[in-house]
Structure 1
Amino acid sequence: MKEIQAFLKDYQREMNWEINEESYEKSKSSLLNNYMLLTTEIAEVAEELRRNFNITEQHKLNGLNETEAFKMAKEEVKEDLGKEIADCIAYICKIANFYEIDIEESFYEKMEEVKKRRNKDI
């Protein structure tokens, strides 16, 4: 993840897509805009999942069993779903980079915290 964060930091600078740091108001506006863009990309992930289920149902109507239909549908949405997930990662990294958060470190710390929870889902 460190490599992805470093790549995106340079990439966003090159593309002039960095979060504005000129003032509090500009940073606030830029962060909110990027958050909205992130939520839009998350919605696009949901759209690809919905498309996966719709394709599965169509394959079932065409006579495939459920398992095979779902497997074929997964292959059909895989590339587009990957692109939408990549967009989400880019926005998450942009926000993390702005706050100088090491996502990899935060991830493992959080997973350890979750492991130690008493009220875990079964």
Structure 2
Amino acid sequence: MKDIQTFAKQYQQEMGWDISDESYDKSRDSLLNNYMQLTTEVAEVAEELRKAFNLTASYVEEGMEEEQAFELAKNQIKENIGKELSDCLAYMLKFYNYFGIHVEDSFYAKMEEVKNRKNKDLVKPSK
């Protein structure tokens, strides 16, 4: 992740897409704009999931077994959902870089915090 974070910072600066730190007003506007763009990309991930579920239902209607239908649908959206997830990651990296947060350190610290929560779910989710 360190390499991806460094690449993202340089790339976003080259493209003029980094979050402004020129002044409070510009930073606020830039942060809000990037937040809205991130939420738009998250919605596009949801659209790809919806597409997969609709395709699955369609294939099942045509007589295909549900598991096989879902595998086929997942393969059909794989490229596009990968692109949308990459867009999400790019926007998230902007925030990490703007605030000077190291992605890996933050991620592992958060996962350790979650692991040690007292109020975590009793049943582990299925894979």
**TM-score w.r.t. length of structure 2:** 0.94
| Cα RMSD after superposing both structures | 0.6
Gaps of 5+ in 2: none
Q: How far, CA to CA, are the matches of 1:118 and 1:18 in structure 2? A: 38
Q: How far, CA to CA, are the matches of 1:35 and 1:118 in structure 2? A: 31
- How many pairs are equivalent? 122
Which residue in the other structure is 2:106 paired with?
106
Identity %: 58
Which residue in the other structure is 2:16 paired with?
16
Which residue in the other structure is 1:87 paired with?
87
CA apart distance, 1:47? 0.4
CA apart distance, 1:40? 0.2
Q: How far, CA to CA, are the matches of 2:109 and 2:66 in structure 1? A: 39
Gaps of 5+ in 1: none
Q: How far, CA to CA, are the matches of 1:107 and 1:12 in structure 2? A: 22
Q: Where does structure 1 differ by over 4 angstroms across 4 or more consecutive aligned residues? A: none
Q: How far, CA to CA, are the matches of 2:115 and 2:18 in structure 1? A: 35
The code of the aligned residue for 2:10 comes to: D
The correspondence of residues 42-81 of structure 1 with structure 2, limited to 5 A, is 42-81=42-81
**TM-score w.r.t. length of structure 1:** 0.98
